[in-house]
Amino acid sequence: MAHDGSNPAIEDYLDRAAHHARAYRAGRQPIGPTASVSSLRERFCLPLSDHGRSGAEVIDALIGAAEVGLVGNTDPNFFAWVMGGSNLVGVAADWLTSAWGQNAAIFQSSPAAAVAEEAVESWLLELLDLPRESSVGFVGGATTAAFVCLAAARAEVLRRAGYDLDRHGLQGAPLVAVFLSEDAHVTNFAALRNLGFGDENFHRMPSDGAGLMRLDDLAEALAHFDGPKIIIAQAGHINSGAFEPLQDIAGLARRHDAWLHIDGAFGLWARASLTRKPLAAGAESADSWSVDGHKWLQIPYGSGFAIVHDRDVHRRAMQKTAGYLNAAEGDGRCPSDYTPDLSRRAHGFAAWAVLRSLGRDGVAALVDRHCDASALLAERIRRIDGLTVLNPVRLNQIVVAARDPADEEPRISRLAERLNARGDIFVRTAFWKGRTILRLSVISQDCGTEQVERLGREIERNWDLISATGSTPLRVSAPCCDAAGDGG
């Protein structure tokens, strides 16, 4: 480096942050946030001062403002949404990524970032057993990954129809039909709308009890449309964890010259496990796949992968040219060829570190442990009088409902409230297919048999209390992480 590195801020600011990070990850605090929105606004929404503050003061103030509003998804007893827990090797690599301050725009702006992504690209295609010639764009999550993949799909199906999107734009383009379940993840619809698609483009297939489209409905709908077509299939429904029949859908896509995109945000990782891979059989036959890195792989948040089988189609959809972006002979992979961004964070470093740390066997073991624990928890819940599990549990998602739908909403909501009240478990409810459900996701990196057995006991105990007392006011003992540190 050109300077001697004798900046006292390196020890002061970074050591303060590291000390708090160690204490946070090693300590015990309520899993749910403890501050109200008004309290958080009082802490954060201050007038912008005319003069700056010392870095040490700012870091301490940030810690004090944020810690009461944090959600504990790094805790093994976190079962809400589908959220990873930030692998500690990935956290350390993420710190280095920030310290290095690299811009993963082109090869020349950070050769190390470019080659790290090249390595991870190869590893991902091997782990997921997808065509090895595919390309991977490193983005902030599966939502942006879907946008990238569907941008490639849009351009390619129009090209096959004889329309040059780059030249003519969307005005006057042939109508592109998009076939997907009415219960597909909302981010697919968001990505499509951002790409210029609207309701007239969507063919929303009726969904079954698991949220999946039926193959015969899809076949009939495809047969009645003569024009450019995109199919979006689900590998892991957000509630049920179920998979659409990917092999059969791929056959329909080939027959009708449709682009097949697979939303595999978390479910596609089943292909990393020998025992769960059959759930996603046929996924390799798709044209593109969107996958999260920060869910099952536990890379710190801001990690997603846009995977496209045809590298040239991928590159054309994201192409950027400028006189100052000139490449030199011998340059490696250009990261921005595969993403919407030019300047961006070097996502590849943390992904590289996590995959090196886990290895192929570690990723498979993570998937298997969570799936096994989910099956165990589902069986435990099925034995509770008055509760049922609505989905066949083959992955990591469990949909819990009252056996008697009458008066279901207040009782299931009360169950979640009671489970969350002590602060050492965190769950969420949802409204799905006309039912209020307790939606459990077993995906936190350290979660296993011990945690789900405890959750099962707590569900039974609290459900029995609700059944016996009805809607009486909630009375729960002190939170698990009070000033005395009582684990409770």
Q: 181 by DSSP, 3-state: which?
A: strand
Within a 10 A sphere around the Cβ of 461, how many other Cβ atoms?
A: 13
Structure-token pair, residue 353:
């570190």
Alpha-carbon distance 226 to 232, whole Å?
A: 18
pLDDT at position 472, please? 52
pLDDT in tens, 370-386: 999 999 999 999 999 99
Q: 462 by DSSP, 3-state: which?
A: helix
Instruction: Please give the CATH architecture assigned to the domain spanning 94-355.
Output: 3-Layer(aba) Sandwich (3.40)
Residue 480: pLDDT over 90: no
Residue 145: pLDDT over 60: yes
Structure-token pair, residue 225:
């449309």
Structure-token pair, residue 379:
């069986």
Q: Are 235 and 262 in contact (CB under 8 A)?
A: yes
Strand order of the sheet with strand 177-181?
A: 135-139, 304-308, 288-292, 259-263, 229-234, 177-181, 202-205
Structure-token pair, residue 322:
């400028």
Confidence band of 484 (pLDDT split at 50, 70, 90): very low
Which residue in 288, 346, 333, 340 sits closest to 318, CA to CA? Answer: 340
Alpha-carbon distance 80 to 77, whole Å?
A: 9
pLDDT at position 440, please? 99
pLDDT at position 487, please? 34
pTM: 0.94
Q: Is the dihedral of CA 17, 345, 144, 445 positive or negative?
A: negative
Instruction: Give the list of residues 6+ apart from residue 325 with CB closer than 8 angstroms, or none.
Output: 105, 106
pLDDT at position 303, please? 98
Confidence band of 327 (pLDDT split at 50, 70, 90): confident
Tokens 């769950």 -> residue: 427
More confident residue, 364 or 469: 364
Q: What is the mean pLDDT of residues 117-134?
A: 99
Burial of 49 (0-12, 13-18, 19+ CB in 10 A): exposed
In the chain, pLDDT over 70 holds for what percent of residues?
95
Residue 334: pLDDT over 60: yes
Residue 3: pLDDT over 90: no
pLDDT at position 6, please? 66
Structure-token pair, residue 25:
């990850």
Q: Are 426 and 420 in contact (CB under 8 A)?
A: yes
Q: How far is CA 181 from CA 34, 205, 394, in A?
A: 38, 5, 20
pLDDT in tens, 151-189: 999 999 999 999 999 999 999 999 999 999 999 999 999
Q: Are 392 and 408 in contact (CB under 8 A)?
A: no
Which residue in 84, 173, 125 sits closest to 367, CA to CA? Answer: 84
pLDDT in tens, 23-68: 999 988 899 999 999 999 999 999 999 999 999 999 999 999 999 9
Structure-token pair, residue 403:
């056996």
pLDDT at position 64, please? 96
Confidence band of 118 (pLDDT split at 50, 70, 90): very high
Element containing residue 405 per DSSP (H, E): none
Instruction: Please give the CATH architecture assigned to the domain spanning 360-469.
Output: Alpha-Beta Complex (3.90)
Q: What are the residue ranges spanned by the domains of the chain?
A: 1-30+33-70, 94-355, 360-469
Q: Are 400 and 377 in contact (CB under 8 A)?
A: no
Structure-token pair, residue 161:
């129809």
Which residue in 120, 189, 121, 197 sits closest to 158, CA to CA? Answer: 197
